[in-house]
Chain A
Amino acid sequence: MTGRISIVGRMNSSAIAVSGLRKAFGNKIVLNGIDLDVPTGTIFSLLGPNGAGKTTTVNVLTTLMKADGGTVRVAGHDVVTEAKAVRAAIGVTGQFAAVDELLTGQENLQLMVDLSPVPAKEGKRTITELLERFDLVESAQKLVSTYSGGMRRKLDLAMTLVGNPRIIFLDEPTTGLDPRSRRTMWSIIRELVADGVTIFLTTQQLDEADQLADRIAVLDQGRLVAQGTPDELKRQIPGTHVRLRFTTAAELDAAAQILTGGTRDNEALTLQVPSDGGTKSLRAVLDRLDEYSLRADELTVHTPDLDDVFLALTGHDTEVAAK
């Protein structure tokens, strides 16, 4: 557990400062005292399974929902008493692509320009730039109902960028995307931060948080159970390893002696050996087995995921957390 104390007197460096945030729906406590601080120009990732309270947090931070307790300041403004000022500074891309399917890509962006204080002439230029940047020029005149999931997400984010917001909230921006679209989304997010934008991102995927975030907070049943840099967090969970399954206890014994640092499971007849999962380290393990004429029935490479994080940090898996 790391409780972070926001630094008083340096509010300008915090894009988002949250303390003691609480929210309940009826009897169900969704957020139970959240404290976090996001420095300007960084990516902050809120990691947690379905039902952990990620979307509720985003809704409160973006003025869409009122909290029951605690204070939230975004861009230096209170989300309750200065909601208008907060809204002027932020952009939000929700969990589902909030695009208008009966409009074309270009019309969707035009709609955002018309609704924002951007002057018409500048708006036209912004639309052209965004279409180019998100590789949507060719489909700009097509109805969004014909777009693929990846294109919708890109358009969604492009729409969010119309007012040039300095703080952007992304609620599970890559859920449901194929690996290629996911990578495209990641590189767009990195570009935004390079321009000095602050990003608050929620995700269910450890690798996404690891790839993008400067800081990660793990949300479990409405509480932050850990907070830190990706490296700090990864030190607390088991790393990548290979899992070898043998036919007999004798073979397992022999293997455990020659592959040091492994964890054995006598019931499942398996041995877990730390490894980075690369071909070189795999070959080393295989060579070592060959040397002693041992053979494993099965070999699997396991990279840590959200379940491992939860098991390590909370002692229960994500299923429990979702309840």
Chain B
Amino acid sequence: MKSHSTVMLRRNFKHIARNPTTVLNAVLLPVLLLWMFVYVLGDAFNVGVDYVDYATPGLILLAVCYGLSATAVSVNSDMTKGIINRFKVMDVPRSAMLTGHVIASVLTNLLAIGAIIGVAFALGFSPSASFLDWLGVIGIVVLLGFAAGWLTVALGLAAKSPETAGLAAVPLVLLPFFSSAIVPADKMGSGVRQFAEYQPFTPIIETLRGLLTGAPAGHNALAAIAWCVGIALVGYLWARSTFNKRA
């Protein structure tokens, strides 16, 4: 008997390989957005630095969010089609079933982020990050991936159908637009500005920006880590209780 986690993870990988359109969406859409914002609209934004340098950290975050709806849908279809029940009756541990989805989600994120950074370089991205800074970027991104992944797994488990699961992830996709991802928060209208300043994605983006381009990051790094850990915890606990309740 192989380890249940390995078996589950391999299943998730097979899904990704067999259904490449979802991954393609998760990779292509953010890249397209990056190209649109930087190449098409970029000259119109005045953010004080080269726009590609400003936007890339924001689009890294967007790339994480775009991958989520696929995760929510795949978790939900496991639930609604009775596959999770089948595994439950076989005594497959909960951790193995759900962690497989989270890890697959994080890896999709990393793929999309890799593509974003590659295209950003092609568009003239010139980060000042040292090797250690890059490690920090990877650390934050993976942490965010896990946090968003757990929250999405919970959303997927709680949704009634795969369609609603896909919709449930939409706010997560829109949230980056109301942060400092595309333009600085202080350029936004009143109300939206305050929201953008205090929502979790802004400190995460500012941390990435600080690491990549040397922009002043202030206390953002701590706030970013705290938000990620908080979201991960809420997502994990929510996923666990929904998983136990629903049959």
Interface residues of A (CB under 8 A from B): 59, 62-65, 84, 87-88, 90-92, 94-100, 102-103, 107, 111-112, 114-119, 143, 159-160, 163
Measured CA separation A159–B83 after assembly (Å): 11
Residues of B within 8 A of A159 (CB): 86
How far in angstroms is the closest Cβ of chain B from A153? 12
Between A and B, 27 residue pairs with Cβ closer than 8 Å are: A63-B89, A65-B247, A84-B91, A87-B89, A87-B91, A88-B91, A91-B89, A92-B86, A92-B89, A94-B85, A97-B81, A98-B83, A99-B81, A99-B83, A100-B11, A100-B83, A102-B14, A102-B19, A103-B14, A107-B14, A112-B90, A115-B4, A115-B90, A116-B1, A117-B1, A160-B86, A163-B90
- A87-B90, A94-B82 given. 13 additional CB < 8 A pairs? A84-B91, A94-B86, A96-B81, A97-B82, A98-B83, A100-B11, A100-B83, A102-B15, A114-B2, A115-B90, A116-B90, A118-B1, A160-B86
Residues of B within 8 A of A117 (CB): 1
| Closest residue on chain B to residue A59 by CB atoms | B247
Q: Is the interface of A mostly helix, strand, loop or mixed?
A: loop
Q: Does B7 contact A (CB under 8 A)?
A: yes
How far in angstroms is the closest Cβ of chain A from B240? 16
Residues of B within 8 A of A143 (CB): 18
Residue pair A98, B1 in contact (C-beta under 8 Å): no
Residue pair B11, A103 in contact (C-beta under 8 Å): yes
Residue pair B86, A98 in contact (C-beta under 8 Å): yes
Residues of A within 8 A of B247 (CB): 59, 64-65
Interface-central residue, B2, B4, B15, B247, by most chain A CB under 10 Å:
B247
Given A59-B247, A102-B15, A103-B14, A95–B7 Cβ distance below 8 Å? no
Measured CA separation A100–B90 after assembly (Å): 15
Residues of A within 8 A of B15 (CB): 102
Residues of A within 8 A of B86 (CB): 92, 94, 98, 159-160
Size of interface on B: residues with Cβ below 8 Å to A: 22
Measured CA separation A143–B15 after assembly (Å): 11
Mark out the residues of chain B between 94 and 123 whose CB falls within 8 Å of any chain A CB in the assembled complex: none
Which among A90, A94, A114 is the interface contact of B7 at CB below 8 angstroms? A114
| Closest residue on chain B to residue A169 by CB atoms | B89
| Closest residue on chain A to residue B2 by CB atoms | A114
How far in angstroms is the closest Cβ of chain B from A309? 28
Given A102-B14, A111-B11, A115-B4, A64–B89 Cβ distance below 8 Å? yes
Residues of A within 8 A of B1 (CB): 114, 116-119
Given A114-B1, A114-B7, A92–B85 Cβ distance below 8 Å? yes
Residues of B within 8 A of A59 (CB): 247
How far in angstroms is the closest Cβ of chain B from A97? 8
Residue pair A98, B91 in contact (C-beta under 8 Å): no
| Closest residue on chain A to residue B244 by CB atoms | A66
Q: Does B195 contact A (CB under 8 A)?
A: no
Mark out the residues of chain B between 66 and 89 whose CB falls within 8 Å of any chain A CB in the assembled complex: 80-83, 85-89
How far in angstroms is the closest Cβ of chain B from A257? 57
Which among B11, B19, B85, B92 is the interface contact of A64 at CB below 8 angstroms? B85
Measured CA separation A100–B15 after assembly (Å): 9
Residues of A within 8 A of B80 (CB): 96
Residues of A within 8 A of B7 (CB): 111, 114-115
Which among A96, A102, A160 is the interface contact of B18 at CB below 8 angstroms? A102
Residues of B within 8 A of A62 (CB): 89
Nearest 7 interchain pairs by C-beta: A98-B82, A64-B247, A94-B82, A102-B18, A114-B7, A98-B86, A65-B247
| Closest residue on chain B to residue A117 by CB atoms | B1
| Closest residue on chain A to residue B17 by CB atoms | A102
